[in-house]
Amino acid sequence: MKMQRDEPLAEIPNLGPKSQQMLALAGVTTLAQLRALGSVATYARAKRAGGNVSLNLLWALEGALTGLPWQTVAREHRTSLLLALEECQRGASPSLHSTSKAP
């Protein structure tokens, strides 16, 4: 399935209803917004918005951007994502994410 840039997050694999609610609280409701922010900055934004956010959301966001299952992301990209998150939380570039980049 080819994803459209403005596709609602409800249509994206890896992101269930609870994830969608957390992202909506953070102001992210479309794939285009997720791509523009990146997985790490979107995760940080959701965490700041006060949702009960776990690292599984970060894996799911990266999976949504890369097309990988969240389990694969957690296993293969965990370290790079956690390092990028640490940089983001220190005030580095808010669009950091490890393996995916907006086209």
Give the chain's domain count. 1
Report if residue 33 sits inside a domain: yes
* 25/3: higher pLDDT: 25
Return d(Cα 57, Cα 69) in angstroms, integer: 12
3 state DSSP class of 45: helix
Residue 12 confidence (pLDDT): 84
Report if residue 53 sits inside a domain: yes
Report if residue 95 sits inside a domain: no
Report if residue 98 sits inside a domain: no
Report if residue 6 sits inside a domain: no
Neighbours of 17 (CB within 10 A): 8
pLDDT at 100 over 80: no
Q: Is the dihedral of CA 14, 98, 75, 82 positive or negative?
A: negative
Domain that holds residue 26: 15-89
Confidence of residue 52 (pLDDT cuts 50, 70, 90): confident
Both tokens of residue 71? 């389990």
Q: Residues 27-38: what's their mean pLDDT?
A: 94
pLDDT at 5 over 60: no
Q: 87-97: per-residue pLDDT in tens?
A: 988 885 544 44
Report if residue 62 sits inside a domain: yes
C-alpha dihedral over 81, 2, 20, 6, to 10 degrees?
A: 100
Read off the pTM.
0.80
Domain of residue 26, CATH code:
1.10.150.20
Q: 70-89: per-residue pLDDT in tens?
A: 999 999 999 999 999 999 88
Report if residue 3 sits inside a domain: no
Report if residue 101 sits inside a domain: no
Return d(Cα 103, Cα 69) in angstroms, integer: 20
